[in-house]
Amino acid sequence: MDRRIGGFSMEAILMDHFRYNFIPPIDSVNVGAALEAIEAAESDEWDREIELWNGVRLSASRIIEELHLGGYIRDLESGEWEPEEWEA
C-alpha cells in the first residue's frame, strides 16, 4: 500500500497513531498487519486472516477494531480518505 495522506506515508501515520494514542504505546512491529487489515477492509474482505508478528492470526475486522483503525479506511465509493468524526 503506497498511500500518502497530507504528504505522510501510511506507515508514518500508523506509527504515530500507535505511539501517541495508546498507553502503553503499541510497538511499530504491528504496522504491517495494520496496513494489511486496512487493505482487506477496503477490499470488503473483513474476515481475511492476517498473521501478526508473533504468529497469531486474527481477522482483519478484529485488527481494525483492536487497533482503532476505522478512521484510516478509504471510502469505497469515492476512493477518498475521510477521518472519523470525533464526538465531543
Residue 5's pLDDT is what?
Answer: 72
Instruction: Tell me the per-residue pLDDT of 18-73, one tens digit each, with 9 for 90 and over.
Output: 999 999 999 999 999 999 999 999 999 999 999 999 999 999 999 999 999 998 99
E strand intervals along 12-74: 49-51, 57-59
Please state the φ and ψ torsions of residue 81, each to the nearest 5 degrees: -90, 125
Residue 88's pLDDT is what?
Answer: 39
Mean pLDDT, range 3-24, rounded to an integer: 90
Residue 15 · residue 27 · CB < 8 Å:
no
Domain ranges of the chain: 4-72
pTM of the model: 0.81
pLDDT band of residue 77 (cuts 50, 70, 90) is low
